[in-house]
Amino acid sequence: MPPFHQPPFYLPIASHVLTGFILSPLDLIRTRLVVQSYNRRYRTYTGPLDALHKILRDEGGLKAIYFHPNLLIPTFLDSALRSIISFALPGLIASYFGASHITEETHPIAWGCTELTASCIGLLVMLPIETIRRRLQVQVRGTAEPIKGCVELRPAPYNGVVDALWHILTEERSDLPISHHPRCRRNSRSTNSKDEEKEEGTVDDEYESLWKNTGLGQLYRGLGTRLSASVVYFVLNLFFNPEETDAGWVEI
């Protein structure tokens, strides 16, 4: 057997995609139950079975719950990218730096570093996909009544993955274009202070414009927490046996 012979990485990727597709209705039900109002008066579903019954009855049946484009495409993107990042990306990173011989058995610390790097890169890719998928799962179809959520939901539905991405970036800005007291604000600023702000804040304004003037920050909510969880998991693996630690809690 060749020394670098390994099973084809596309087999576990295909199995994860298939599993994600089969279990996608459960993920849809979970999202609906999490987002719906906590107040019993405004609840849409009383439980998982009631949610499944109402979704099948009002939103196109079993075919729609699996094959509707707003559910099918995000499911495949989420499952495929997540499995590629988990199985293929660490090896690609190791080979990129000329260390294709590194394995978990021979170089556990170096392999842990590649996994940590792959995890951080994966978060940058997966968080927007997860956000868009949740947004599309929340909006109802067919004859179902809109969900009264515990958070503010967009009244107009998204038309797909690209449409959801575009509207999140263009609508969910964190800046406040409306000023309640423009005259007071105008009088409180002097010409010198404006010049100082222009000189000192040029770089900061360019950096913050992506986060304040667009909805990019909404696509990466919780990024810091999940990066910290990945780092903590990596550090724990340095002191404990990896078999004694559980990576599942990292997926917050």
Sign of CA dihedral 27, 29, 33, 35: positive
pTM attached to this predicted model: 0.76
- Domains of the chain as residue ranges with CATH: 10-173+214-221 (1.50.40.10)
Q: In this predicted structure, what is the pLDDT of residue 217?
A: 85
Q: In this predicted structure, what is the pLDDT of residue 172?
A: 84
The DSSP 8-state label assigned to residue 149 in this structure reads: B
Per residue of the chain (252 residues), give pLDDT as tens.
Answer: 444 445 566 788 899 999 999 999 999 999 999 999 888 888 999 999 999 999 999 999 999 999 999 999 999 999 999 998 888 888 788 777 766 566 666 677 777 788 888 889 999 999 999 999 999 999 999 899 999 988 888 889 999 999 999 999 998 876 655 444 444 444 444 444 444 444 445 445 555 666 777 888 888 888 889 989 888 888 887 777 655 545 554 444
Q: In this predicted structure, what is the pLDDT of residue 238?
A: 75
- In residues, how long is the chain? 252
Query: Which residue pairs from 60-69 have beta carbons closer than 8 angstroms and sit at least 24 positions apart in sequence?
Result: 60/141, 60/142, 64/141, 64/142, 65/24, 65/25, 65/28, 66/21, 66/24, 66/25, 68/141, 69/160
Cα-Cα-Cα-Cα torsion 59, 60, 66, 71, nearest 10 degrees, comes to: -40
Q: In this predicted structure, what is the pLDDT of residue 1?
A: 41
